Each structure stands twice: as structure tokens, then as C-alpha cells.
Structure 1
Amino acid sequence: MKAIVQERYGSADTLELREIERPVAGDGEVLVRVRAAAVNARDWHIMRGDPRLARYTMPAMFGRSGPRQRVRGSDFAGVVEAVGAGVTGYEPGDEVYGDLREDDGAFAQYARVPVAWIGHKPAGLTFEQAAAVPLAATTALAALRDAGKVKAGEHVLINGASGGVGTFAVQLAKAYGATVTGVCSTRNAELVAELGADHVVDYTREDFTRGGRRYDVVLDLVANRSLGELRSVLTEHGRLVMSGGGTSGGGRPSYFGPMALTIRATLAAKMGDRRVVPLLNVPPSAQSLATLREHLEAGEITPAVDRTFPLERAAEAVRYLEIEHARAKVVISVA
């Protein structure tokens, strides 16, 4: 089968289209004929081995000189080709979507997936739209529903509202009945407003930490502000949810990257600051995918896809997300 393979850390130039052996579904797994795969920030982080600290603290994904898994990509949508022993609820021909996470391997014609990490593809979505959902929307769901505990009538600010997670977070917060403020650049302001944000802050013209507004929940997806600045815009009982972030810096390597802020937030939470909630790990989950399917089929959330690339141009797709600051989701179509 055709797959995007990487042997060593580096830029998108290290990603190569190759013929490799097709995987086989083991016990509790399904073999999926991939029809589309989404590009996430985690893909370029793993591709570059950045931040360098991750090479020592996240051994499931990062090796010392190259990624643990040769084939990139975690999000996918496709058709079940075969099922392994012990699998129930799925059979060949079923349309599914899911997240491979640490196993990676979605930038390929076939992927072997634990059945606990997949869900039936939402009705009415193309494979490209469905592939855009799993990691980003699951993260947004965990950040707002579980960590932030957003309630109707609350005011929510999303820093990084036009990114993959941010576009889903804006819509989910609105579905929960919140008043939403999205922070983004000028070129993405219209998109964020169309997704349902009540207020849009253009960070090139306005500093949301100096505007005087206070929020019940702040979801930070960028890691470009200090912990103190983010806490300063919270209400008395507000919650600050930290979820990764960071930019590539034009490909320049970093040692700590967004992990520096995450570490500070984790320490603050452990020392008793109940207003700070680090979102350290959101594992793939069939239950979360089922919940998201309900929101999608009800029309409460819709994937926002910026651009689609064919599999042979996967390196270009990753480069576009990493360097050119794509908005919303970038998707790879697999023939």
C-alpha cells in the first residue's frame, strides 16, 4: 500500500510517499481502508521532534533521532475492510472515523485501529469532513465539558479560535449555551464569527488581557500569553483551561515550546490553584466520538476545512499547516 513514511526528524521534506506492507487487523482491531486523514499540529511536532524536551518525556511518540512510528497521521475516516477477533458492532463496509493517536499511521491507504478508538461516521458528512473531527473536536469537548465545566449563561473566551481545536470549541461552547468570545487574527475574524462567536477579538489590534472583560472560562490553545495574564481575565470563580498550543516559529527548533507554560500551569494546579486546569492528555475514545456524532448530526457543530490535499502531496499539507498558519482544518484525501 501507499503511505507517507518518515525515518528521521526534520522538516516536511523528510516525509516520503512509499510502498509498504499493508497492516493486518489483530485481536480487538479493525482494518480501515482510509479515505481521508486530517493534519494536526501534533503531526509537525512529531515530525520535527519539537519541542526537544518531548523526546525525553513522551517516549510513546518521540524517539531520540526520529518518531517512534514511521507513518504519520492520527485522524482518519474510511471504510472497514476487515475485523479482528473479538470485534463486535462493526463489519466490513461500515463507514467509520477515529483517531490513532500514539499508534499513528493515518497518512496511508490502510490503517489498523483498536476498535475502542473508532466510531460510526456521522451521517451527512463527507470522508474529508469526518476526518477533520476526531482529535480536534475530542480535545475541544474535553476542554469545555470536562475541564472547564461550561454552563449555559457563562462567558467563555477561546484564545486560538480559528485553529482546528478552536473552531470546534467555539461551536461547542455555543451549543452549551455560553456567550463566546473568540481571539484570532484579522483574516480569520469572519470565519470565527460565522461559527457562532458572539464577540471576536482581533489580536493584531486589541489585547484581550487589557480590555477589562472577565470570563467564566478561558480556553488557551496558543500558549502565547503568561499564566498571570490569562488568570487576570477570569471572574472570581473562573476556570483557565490550558491545552497545548505553540507555533512552529518558521521551523526553528525549541527546547520547551508550549510545554513551558503547561508545566507552570500543572505546578500551579498542584499547589492549590483551582482556577487553573491543565489538559494534559485527551486519549482517543469511542464514547467521545459517539457524543460528537450526536452534535454533528444535530447540526450543532460543523467541521471547517481550510484546504484538501491528495496523499502524494501530504508533505505540502503538513508544511501548509505548520508554516503558513492555516485556519481550521487541513485534510488529506486518500485515493
Structure 2
Amino acid sequence: MSSDVLRRLYPEVEPYESGHFDVGDGHSLYYERCGTPGAKPAVFLHGGPGAGIAPAHRRLFDPARYDVLLFDQRGCGRSVPHASIENNSTWHLVTDIERLRAHLGIEQWLVFGGSWGSTLAIAYAERYPEHVSALVLRGIFLGDRASIDWFYRFGASEIFPEEWAKFRRAVDTPGEEDLIAAYYRRLSGPVDSVPLEVARAWSRWEAATVSLLPDTERERQSAEARNAIAVARIETHFFANDCWFEPEQLLREASRLAGIPGVIVHGRYDICCAPGNAWKLHQSWPQSTLRIVEGAGHVFSEPGITNELVRATDMFAA
């Protein structure tokens, strides 16, 4: 195949196993396994935090060469309790990944993460490097104050001023600059008391800015009550707590990735997560290869990003 032919997702594939896994703390995670049992093990980490897995995520891996675990993180998707922020932090999730690995009897696996999933993948790999054979990361979010401020204080707001105005109006806080705190106050109560329009406003800001061109279907999905409530509650919970990281922790501890090969894929015009994040991670991790995709934003479904991700999983399968 010519190297200039864009790779696409693999054909649709159904899980060969699915169910729920009790991780304690009152949480049970929905999971599925796809591909060929006993083939190269991999785990897929979805974005958000607060989103969930989707059938298209299975198609990033060659089903003949991979045995992939996909799961909904705490409070997300089909995991229960839905939209829960109790006992839900970055380090709870890192521990969950390790529990799943041990439960499956896997010694090492490829860790794939996009957006928030990239944050989680880096955090997991820095804590358990001996169990990571390779990393494939997309749309790097470092979970630090600079990255959070770029999207929720000043940066993205200058590129999408009309969407930012809607985002601010939803919490009606004239003069207040900490919009994360303003949203969190309204969203952190009991799930059944969450003001739906506030949750939708939070979710819509993200949906309106993550792709290079407008995507009305993504914006429609972001307004669905179940999705909006989970994303808005869990994201504000994580970001109000600085994702439970020390300042610049992931970059400072990147030396722990030494010896782990990896591919970093990032859209040139990613407004959600600035390309500088990918560059800084690449500079801190010599074994990584950086692929900046021209004419692309944040989401994995943009053709250039899909191409690089599928090429990466194929390379590591070989």
C-alpha cells in the first residue's frame, strides 16, 4: 500500500466478551473485549473525563492481530452508578486500569488514549511502566493548570468568541473569571438535581470546538441528557481539583517512560488541547514519535488523525 493513501478504520467488529467488573468503592465498570483472544493485548482509554466508549473505538485496531479491552471509566457510559463523582479521581482510574490488567492475567499491553485518555494513559504508564509495551496517544491533554486555563479561561475563547459567550451566559456570573468553579457549584449536587441546561451548556462548548469544521451531529449528541450530565459533572469535578496532579506532574515524571516506545498524534488546529502539549511531551520522552497532522483539529474521526492512529496500531502489532 502506498504511504500516501490515508488509512481508515477497520470494519465494524462486535465484542467477543462484555460485562461489568466491580472495582470497589461502589463502582462497577462496563467493559468489552474485541479482536482475537490471545493476540497482542491492548487497552483503550476514552476521553472526557465523563465520556465513554463507542463502537468506532474498536475499529482503531486490526481485530486479527489485537485483543483489545475497552471500558467505560467510573460514572461514564454503561458503568454504574451513572455520572457519579464519589470516589472518582485520576488515581482511582489509574488503579482501575491496573486491576483490570491483573484480572485478565496480562503482563504487558499497549495503552491507547485520546484527549483525557492520553492524560490517563501517561499517568498509568508513569506509575506502572513495567506493564506498558507501547503508547499510542492522541490530542494530548496534560491535566495541568495551563491546559485547563487555555480551554476554560483564555485561549480557546479568543478563537470561538460566540460560543464562549453562550458558555459564560449559562451560569450568569458577571465579572467571575473562574467558570469551572461556577459550573461546579451548580453541577456537583445529587444527580437528579442537576440543572440540565447548565450541563448542556458545558457539554456543548466542548462539542462546538473540538473539530476543525462544525459537526451538528456531535453537538446534538452532546445535548442528550445522559451524556451532558455525565460529561459536565465529571469534567468539572476533575478540573476543579486540578485532576489531582501536582504542578506539571506528567512532564516532570516523563523520565519514567524511558524505554517505552510511543506515537503522539496531534492536530495542528486542535483548539481543545493546544499542540504545544504534544511538543512538550515529545521533548520530555525521547522514545516517542510525534505526528502533527495538518488540516486537523482534536477528534480522532478527522481523516488525517485516523490515518496516523491506525498506522500506529498496525506498526506496533507488527
Q: Tell me if TM exceeds 0.5.
A: no
TM-score, normalized by length of structure 1?
A: 0.27
Looking at secondary structure, tell me which structure has more helix per residue: 2
TM-score, normalized by length of structure 2?
A: 0.28
